[in-house]
């Protein structure tokens, strides 16, 4: 009777393990990157600039998808086609160059 009980328990454990292996193989795992909101790693800082001298402003942002940085002056987006401003972006680092402030 004890031997029969042990065999029954062994068969039950083996069946449970078989079901677990089957279910693990069926399980679908998503490996897409999580969406993360934008975060400034390096923020803009204040500058004192002499008239008619160049200045370079920069910031660094991260997030997924990669955030888009837009430059504003007095609440109005800068007209980059005027040639008065140069904008660069490499990875998460963004800069605005004003050749003659």
pLDDT category at 37 given cuts 50, 70, 90 is: confident
Three-state DSSP class for residue 40: strand
Residue 74, pLDDT score: 92
pLDDT category at 40 given cuts 50, 70, 90 is: very high
The reported pTM is 0.62
The predicted-structure confidence for 43-82, as pLDDT tens digits, reads as follows 999 989 999 999 999 999 999 888 999 999 899 999 888 8
Burial 55-77 (b: 16+ CB within 10 A, else e): eeeebbbeeeeebebeeeeeeee
Instruction: Give the helix ranges, DSSP H, for the chain.
Output: 2-26
């Amino acid at each position: 009777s004890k031997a029969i009980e042990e065999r029954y328990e062994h068969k039950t454990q083996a069946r449970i393990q078989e079901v677990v292996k089957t279910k693990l193989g069926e399980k679908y795992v998503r490996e897409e990157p999580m969406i993360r909101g934008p975060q400034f790693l390096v923020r803009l800082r204040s500058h004192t600039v002499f008239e008619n001298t160049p200045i370079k402003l920069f910031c660094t942002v991260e997030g997924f998808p990669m955030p888009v940085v837009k430059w504003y002056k007095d609440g109005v987006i800068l007209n980059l086609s005027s040639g008065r401003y140069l904008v660069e972006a490499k990875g998460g680092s963004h800069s605005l160059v004003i050749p003659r402030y």
